[in-house]
Amino acid sequence: MSSLLLALALAALPAVVLIWYFYHLDKARSEPIGLILRSVLYGFAAVIPAAGIEFGIGALVPPPAGALGILFEAFVMAGLVEESVKLYFVRRYIFHRPEFNERTDGIIYAICVSLGFAFIENFIYGHDAPSILFVRAFTAVPGHAVFSGVMGYYVGMAKLEEGRAGAWKRGLFWAVILHGLYDALLMAGGAVSYLVIPLLIFGWRLLKRLFAKAQAADFERFGGGRNS
């Protein structure tokens, strides 16, 4: 029992730290804690349809061998399926809520859903291997935040910028590209797999730049006050 609790704690810790970080990054107009927690729970729930879809695709369309198989699994099975499911939960359960009234909200809520998803995935892969949980704390978990956070920027744009209702499609595209590239590099193995480090650094810098851009637009709209 103690080892199970330790694994749960190690799986949850990086997600909690990242949620706390982005929540406080948006502290001038922070989101309701209840909806933050609910968004994380949506991420938990998203694991089930994502796993079902991946299983169904794998049964109906067996991945080809070699490099094509790696690309198929990375960009379709992982990138497209997982990011599409996370996007579905954001758009279905959060997008139309009155609390979602800023561009940064798209990033925050997408990250919370993604980190709920990452926690469950983290535990599944590493519940009996703390070393795996440690590595994933600095790779897969922030990776999920980056992929979906970039997507969330465009979700916020879709809600709040006139004439940009379809911007979420662009966000999904970039999330799939980043997620698929990350998985493809890892599956390639050997020295190539270490290229995920500069990819994550690039993705993190991109996300921070988009977050700052969204904050600037929100400040112009609301000034320094908090959300109503």
- 177-212 pLDDT tens trace: 999 999 999 999 999 999 999 999 999 999 999 999
Residues with Cβ within 8 Å of 52's Cβ and at least 6 positions away in sequence, in order, are none
Which pLDDT value is given to residue 163? 87
Give the torsion sign (CA, 177, 179, 180, 186): positive
Measured distance CA(131)–CA(226) in Å, rounded: 41
Mean pLDDT of the region 140-159: 97
Residue 227 has what pLDDT? 46
More confident residue, 148 or 31: 148
Nearest one of 142, 79, 151 to 115, comparing CA atoms: 142
Q: What is the 3-state secondary structure (H, E, C) of 141-207?
A: HHHHHHHHHHHHHHHHHHHHCCCCCCHHHHHHHHHHHHHHHHHHHHHHCHHHHHHHHHHHHHHHHHH
Dihedral pair phi/psi, residue 138, rounded to 5°: -110, 0
Please, what is the average pLDDT of the chain? 92
The 10s digit of each residue's pLDDT in 6-47 is 788 888 999 999 999 999 888 777 889 999 999 999 999 999
* Per-residue pLDDT at 1: 58
Predicted confidence (pLDDT) per residue in 49-106, tens digit: 999 999 999 888 877 888 899 999 999 999 999 999 999 999 999 999 999 999 999 9
